């Protein structure tokens, strides 16, 4: 759900993946999905700005910064719990929500399919 | 409107309740929004539009063409986007309905003006307005693009529109950017007016000076963010007086319009 209390519109979700899924695979699927989305939609064209395999964190578009437009992803993988926590920020001018709820679902669809593949 | 008519629409995005970011929308024959033109604060380093301009050294006023229609995007060689500022309940005016050739001739002139206007690399004022000199901001871009298209540059009632009286460049330069195949349409020519239910009708008379002054003072004194300054303005006696005055003038305008147009008078009576 998007959180209107934030100045930056944000949606979050947690996906369950098989325990001990390698983090590099999770990251590869995230990168693949981001590339697909970025090809067709300018809102998604932020680059990966942080990839920390040790801590299971991948981010795009300087995620912690507030004053940036477009869809920006924070992904946190916990291999022991088999959980991938996703946060999507999506501000436009004047912090208008550019559809973070729909954007997160759009990301999840291709990302989950990639993770399910051998 | 006939099915084959294209149109250009002026729209107002409310910012923090009392201010307006004015922008342009291109609509296709089915009324579908095909594209939007905005002037926005843009990061000089990343060349990306940003939510709020906060630093004149880092942020520039740039024109952005957000194309929703895939074919139209391909014609312009740009990536289509869902990025949009169209929201239900916004004030809007159709300033031109006409043939594809006429409407796109004007719209494409504005799109072509993007490059030279962006090359000016104008500073975007902190939080969108200047205290001690003329404000040139997104609303100035709206005026500039409207004049390039040769369509009436409408203002909106009941909101503050800082920068709307200014341009990004001189009238002579704007004239050079126009498509001369299409004449400048007078703002006095009749245009479709579509105030939505619950919204103020267009009014030209509500001077924003008092409200803007309060807003500017709030931002200057406290170095507050735009939203904070706007909220303070709304809560202030000055802001409430401005809003009440704007509403009264909008109602007076509606009555005056109703007096000129019998059908509109009946509609106004039916609404009240």
> Residue ranges of the alpha helices (H) in B94-236?
100-119, 138-149, 171-177, 209-222, 226-235
What are the distances in angstroms from CA A47 to CA A30, A70, B117, B231?
A: 12, 11, 28, 35
The A-side interface with B (CB below 8 A) comprises 7-8, 40-43, 45, 66-70, 91-96, 98-99
- pLDDT digit string, tens, across residues B135-160: 899 999 999 999 999 999 999 999 99
Please answer yes or no on whether A93 and B21 come within 8 Å at the CB atom.
yes
H or E element in which residue A101 lies: helix A100-116
Q: What are the chain A neighbours of B87 within 8 Å (beta carbons)? A: 96
Residues 199-228 of B with CB under 8 A from A: 227
H or E element in which residue B239 lies: helix B237-260
SS3 B70: helix
Please give the average per-residue pLDDT across B180-194, as a whole number: 66
Q: Which residue of B has its CA nearest to A38?
A: B79
Q: Is the pLDDT of residue B200 over 60?
A: no
Distance from CA of B78 to the nearest CA of A (A): 9
What the block records as the tokens of A50 is: 């942080």
Please give the average per-residue pLDDT across B214-239, as a whole number: 47
What are the distances in angstroms from CA A2 to CA A93, A103, B51, B80?
A: 17, 11, 18, 24
Query: Do the Cβ atoms of A60 and A69 come closer than 8 Å?
Result: no
> Residue ranges of the alpha helices (H) in B121-208?
138-149, 171-177
Of B21, B81, B85, the CB nearest to A43: B81
- Binned at pLDDT 50, 70 and 90, residue B4 comes out as confident
Please answer yes or no on whether A69 and B41 come within 8 Å at the CB atom.
no
pLDDT at A44: 96
Q: Which residue of A has its CA nearest to B74?
A: A40
Q: Is the pLDDT of residue A81 over 90?
A: yes
Distance, CA of B166 to CA of B163 (rounded, Å): 5
Of A7, A40, A93, the CB nearest to B49: A93
Distance, CA of A3 to CA of A6 (rounded, Å): 6
What are the distances in angstroms from CA B53 to CA B40, B125, B131?
A: 8, 7, 15
Please answer yes or no on whether B49 and A8 come within 8 Å at the CB atom.
no
- Binned at pLDDT 50, 70 and 90, residue B241 comes out as low
- Binned at pLDDT 50, 70 and 90, residue A65 comes out as very high
**Among the ranges given (B26-40, B66-80, B192-206, B226-240), the one the predictor scored with the smallest mean pLDDT:** B192-206
pLDDT at B46: 94
H or E element in which residue B268 lies: helix B262-271
Residues with Cβ within 8 Å of B125's Cβ and at least 6 positions away in sequence, in order, are: B53, B56, B135, B136, B137
pLDDT at B51: 95
Distance, CA of B36 to CA of A34 (rounded, Å): 25
Q: Which residue of B has its CA nearest to A94?
A: B51
What the block records as the tokens of A71 is: 């869809």
- Binned at pLDDT 50, 70 and 90, residue B105 comes out as very high
- Binned at pLDDT 50, 70 and 90, residue B191 comes out as very low
Q: What are the chain B neighbours of A67 within 8 Å (beta carbons)? A: 50-52, 54
Of B51, B79, B81, the CB nearest to A94: B51
Please answer yes or no on whether A93 and B80 come within 8 Å at the CB atom.
no
pLDDT at B195: 34
In percent, how much of chain A has pLDDT > 70?
Answer: 95
Please give the average per-residue pLDDT across A20-32, as a whole number: 97
pLDDT at B187: 65
pLDDT at B197: 36
ipTM over 0.95: no
Residue B32 is classified by DSSP as: -
The pLDDT mean for chain B works out to: 78
Of A67, A92, A94, the CB nearest to B83: A92
- Chain position carrying tokens 């088999």: A82
What is the distance of C-alpha A5 from the center of its chain?
20
Number of C-beta neighbours around residue B102 at 10 A: 17
């Amino acid at each position: 759900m998007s959180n209107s209390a934030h100045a930056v519109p944000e949606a979050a979700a947690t996906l369950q993946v098989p325990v001990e899924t390698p983090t590099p695979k999770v990251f590869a699927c995230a990168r693949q999905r981001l590339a697909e989305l970025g090809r067709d939609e300018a809102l998604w064209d932020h680059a990966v700005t942080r990839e920390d395999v040790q801590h299971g964190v991948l981010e795009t578009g300087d995620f912690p910064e507030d004053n940036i437009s477009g869809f920006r992803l924070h992904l946190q993988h916990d291999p022991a719990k088999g959980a991938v926590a996703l946060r999507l920020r999506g501000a436009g001018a004047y912090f208008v929500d550019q559809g973070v709820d729909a954007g997160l679902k759009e990301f999840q669809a291709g990302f989950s399919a990639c993770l399910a593949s051998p | 409107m006939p099915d084959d008519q294209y149109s250009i629409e002026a729209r107002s995005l409310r910012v923090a309740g009392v201010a307006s970011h004015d922008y342009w929308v291109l609509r296709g024959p089915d009324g579908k929004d095909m594209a939007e033109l905005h002037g926005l604060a843009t990061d000089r380093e990343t060349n990306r539009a940003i939510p709020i301009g906060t630093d004149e050294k880092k942020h520039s006023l740039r024109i952005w063409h957000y194309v929703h229609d895939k074919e139209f995007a391909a014609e312009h060689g740009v990536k289509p986007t869902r990025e949009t500022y169209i929201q239900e309940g916004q004030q809007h005016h159709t300033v031109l309905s006409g043939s594809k050739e006429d409407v796109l001739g004007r719209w494409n002139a504005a799109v072509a003006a993007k490059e030279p206007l962006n090359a000016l690399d104008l500073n975007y004022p902190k939080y969108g307005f200047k205290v001690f000199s003329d404000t040139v901001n997104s609303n100035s871009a709206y005026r500039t693009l409207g004049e390039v298209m040769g369509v009436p540059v409408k203002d909106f009632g009941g909101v503050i529109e800082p920068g709307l009286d200014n341009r990004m460049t001189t009238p002579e330069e704007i004239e050079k950017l126009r498509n001369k195949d299409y004449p400048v349409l007078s703002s006095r020519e009749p245009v479709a007016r579509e105030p939505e239910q619950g919204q103020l009708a267009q009014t030209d008379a509500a001077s924003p000076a008092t409200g803007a002054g309060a807003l500017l003072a709030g931002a200057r004194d406290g170095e507050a963010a735009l939203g904070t300054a706007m909220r303070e303005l709304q809560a202030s006696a000055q802001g409430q007086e401005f809003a009440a005055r704007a509403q009264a003038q909008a109602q007076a305008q509606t009555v005056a319009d109703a007096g000129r147009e019998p059908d509109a008078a009946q509609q106004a009576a039916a609404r009240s």
